[in-house]
Copies of this chain bind each other. A is one copy, B any other.
Amino acid sequence: MRKIKNILLKIEYDGTNYRGWQRQASRELKGENDSLTVQEVIETALKDILKEKVSLISSGRTDAGVHAKSQYANFRAATSIPLNKMGMAINALLPSDIRVLSVRRVPDSFHSRYDVKTKVYRYVILNRKYCSVFLRQYVLHIPKPQLDVSVMQKESKVLIGRHDFKSFQASDKKVRGSIRTIKDISVKKSRGLILIDVEADGFLYNMVRNIVGTLIEVGRGKRPKNSLKNILLVRDRRCAGPTVPAKGLTLLKVRYKNDKT
């Protein structure tokens, strides 16, 4: 009998045409559009190659329209296909907006979600008069006013640390705990873009998009000084800014315990 291997995929995807990472239970599909999720597309390709049905465990879901430069997902299979051939084989079956970037065997105990130390999400804003055709699906375009990036950067720092982020959680989500730890947050200009990177041990639903929506109001001068501190304290979603569109958001990095990636 062939030994069962624990195999880890590094995956990149353009989320534009997907309903997010996570496979939907069929009852949830009712009344929704019929677009696919990234997980089911990859699982279908794996089933074709492995001749067995496998379930992918990812570092976490990404929402509809969100992109990933580096998503990780592992699965268990009793396959004898050489791993250095498997990436090519999977990519040959995948649409061009999903790519497997690497395939590796990992210890049996490795779990793509439980072993996450931190994840980094990046939100990208194009803050100039006209949008760019080449970036149109990957940035939020804010024609004006010029956002005050240094104030956004300064104000954002109050979010670093272990806090209750209830004010930045989608209000329709009932999750038990809303305490998370933001390890780092940075707001910087790079080649005409504003990049907002958030590294945390976990993210609430819409957390980054709500933080960015609030920081944009800070950058527009619409929020008094130290307002982020107060928003955190009140634990009320209505006090934070709007949820910005998914298309500007990318899962940039996943850091694992014991540096497995």
Measured CB to CB, the residues of A under 8 A from B are 12-14, 67, 69, 87, 91, 96-101, 129-134, 136, 138
Contacts and interface: CB of A to CB of B under 8 A. Distances in A.
14 contacts: A14-B133, A14-B136, A67-B133, A87-B129, A87-B130, A96-B131, A96-B133, A96-B136, A97-B133, A97-B136, A99-B132, A99-B133, A101-B130, A134-B138
A125 to B, nearest CB: 17
Nearest to A100: B130
A133 B12 CA distance: 7
Nearest to A87: B130
A51 to B, nearest CB: 24
Nearest to A250: B134
A99 B14 contact: no
Q: Which 5 A-B pairs have the closest CB atoms?
A: A14-B133, A96-B136, A97-B133, A12-B133, A99-B130
A98 B131 CA distance: 10
Contacts of A87: 129-130
A100 B132 CA distance: 10
A198 to B, nearest CB: 20
A133 B98 contact: yes
Contacts of A67: 133-134
Given A96-B131, A96-B133, 5 more contacts: A12-B133, A87-B130, A99-B130, A99-B131, A101-B130
Contacts of A12: 132-134
Nearest to A68: B133
A101 B91 CA distance: 37
Contacts of A97: 133, 136
Given A87-B129, A129-B87, A14 B134 contact: yes
A115 to B, nearest CB: 24
Contacts of A100: 130
A89 to B, nearest CB: 12
A93 to B, nearest CB: 14
A244 to B, nearest CB: 18
A133 B42 CA distance: 15
